[in-house]
Structures are given as C-alpha cells and as structure tokens.
Structure 1
Amino acid sequence: MAGIHITDIEAAINYWRERSPSSDAAMPLTLPLRALAEVYALMVYHRQTDTDEAALPPAARQAWLAWFDTTPDTPCIAICSTSQGDEVCKGCGRSFDEVQHWTAMSPAEKRGVWRRITLQGDAWRFNRYAERAIEEKTGQAGIV
C-alpha cells in the first residue's frame, strides 16, 4: 500500500479544525480530529514522515478520506504531452504510467504523485499555465 505523508495528515487536521471546531471544553477535539491527531502524534514520536494507508485506524482513514475528497482529483491541465510520446507530461508532471493508471490509483498513491510533482515544480501547471489551474479551481477566470 501507498504511504500518506505527514503533511497530508496535517492538512486533514487543519481541514477538520476549520470545519468542525469543538465548543465543548470537556471534549476539545471532535472524533475526526482526535483520530488524525493520534496518527500524527505517533508519526512525530517515531520520527516517521509517512504512514501506511492500510495501517490507518478506521476513524482516521475516514477523516483523511473526507479531506482528500476536497482536494483536486487530478493535476491535469488539459495539455498532455504523454499523448505525443513524452515519458513525462510537460503539462502536469506525471509519468505516462501515472496518467494511464490514475483512475485505478488509491487516494494515497494519488497524493504521493501530487506531492512529488509539487516538490519538483517544473511542470507547466506550476509555472507557465498556473493561472489555468487557478481558474479551474475557482471556476472563474482572474478570480483567486
């Protein structure tokens, strides 16, 4: 199984903190937050940067998947150079195999690809056509 990076756990925690802040002083964390915080704390304690997708406790997995569902599904910007024979797409930065098997990949595998291409930052999605990705996210041209 694919690994989930600690930054994705952090992002999911922040998503749940904004979505459902607790007003109960006796129970300061909601169930999704507690489940994710427990995973995060163990990762920090063991100095792990990744945790196995299959090893997540059910409540943490459900909370992480709810956050995942709010992220863009694909890095595609509709400029696919793999269809022209490139091994790596100039538009999104994914390999030919990643483009071909994207729909069959698990959420953690997709996030791993997203992490890699974001860190590399050399695909057109991150420079030449970054505004196109922003327009797709907001649904409007020129509004961020």
Structure 2
Amino acid sequence: MAGIHISDIEAAINYWRERSPSSDGLSLAEPTRALAELYARMAYRQETEVEEASLLPPVREAWLAWFQTMPDTPCIAICSTSQGDAVCKGCGRTFDEVQRWTGMTPGEKRMSWRRITLEGTAWRFNRYSERAL
C-alpha cells in the first residue's frame, strides 16, 4: 500500500488555498477544508503518512487535483537502468520503479518522488538539473 506523506497533504492544501482563497478570511473552500481536516488528524496522531486507499472521496479528489499539477515522472532522458544499473543515475528511480511507473498509483509515484528528492543524488538534482525544469 502506498502512503501519502503529510508534506504532500500540506502542499495540496496550499495549492487549494491559492486556487480558492477564503472570501471572508475565515471559511475554507471544500477541497481545502477536506484536506485540512485530514492534516489536523494526522498532526494530532503524530502520523507522517496516510494510506492512499483510506482517503475519503473529497480528500482524494482534492489531493489528486494537486497531484495532476506535479511532473508525472522524474525521468530526464538519461536512463542508466537500461545499461544494467539497479538505480538510475539520471532520475534516481530503481529498475523496478522505472519498469512499473505507468502502472503505479499516484501515491506510489509520490513515494518514489519523495525518496529520490530526499536522497538528492540523482543527476536530475545536480549534474543535469536544467533537464528537470
């Protein structure tokens, strides 16, 4: 099962706050409120991840709308897994992630993105960062 990190929930909240700002400074648009309620529960329980499959429909729809604004793949067209590497030097994904990418759920993709971003060793983050724009 894929876990969605609390930082993704926060990013989705900020996306919706910018997209649908409060008209009175107090109330939240429905997508923002749904995400904020989940964020609050996670913070209260000191959880850093929530299972993708457990998202209620309003939260899932709001999160997926934000997810669609993100780049689909970390690929920078320098794939060393095709040369036998277990982890791609270009994007940082494992061979398995590269092979399964099109069939992965949004949550699974975000887990991969989070890992490679935290590691920051792939060429997309340094040597060829201009390709990642």
TM-score band, normalised by the shorter chain?
A: over 0.9
Other-structure match for 2:116: 117
Q: Which runs of 4+ in 1 moved over 3 A?
A: none
Deviation at 1:24, TM superposition (A): 3.8
Give secondary structure in 1 for the equivalent of 2:70.
Answer: coil
TM-score scaled by length of structure 2: 0.97
Other-structure match for 2:11: 11
- Gap runs ≥5 in structure 1: 135-144
Other-structure match for 1:62: 61
Q: How many residues align?
A: 133
Q: Distance in 1 between matches of 2:95 and 2:56?
A: 33
Other-structure match for 2:99: 100
Q: Distance in 2 between matches of 1:133 and 1:93?
A: 12
Q: Which one has more relative contact order, counting CA pairs under 8 Å at least 6 apart?
A: 2
Other-structure match for 1:48: 47
Deviation at 1:92, TM superposition (A): 0.2
Q: Distance in 1 between matches of 2:131 and 2:116?
A: 17
Other-structure match for 2:84: 85
Q: Distance in 1 between matches of 2:103 and 2:97?
A: 10
Could you list the per-position Cα deviations for residues 3-36 of structure 1 after superposition, in whole angstroms to 9, with x for gaps in the alignment?
00000000000000001102145x6100000100
TM-score scaled by length of structure 1: 0.90
Give secondary structure in 1 for the equivalent of 2:4.
Answer: strand
| 1:30-45 equivalent positions in 2, closer than 5 A | 30-45=29-44
Q: Distance in 2 between matches of 1:127 and 1:118?
A: 11
Letter in 2 for 1:124: W
Coordinate RMSD, CA, aligned: 0.9
Q: Which deviates the most, 88-97 or 15-24? A: 15-24
Q: Distance in 2 between matches of 1:60 and 1:22?
A: 18
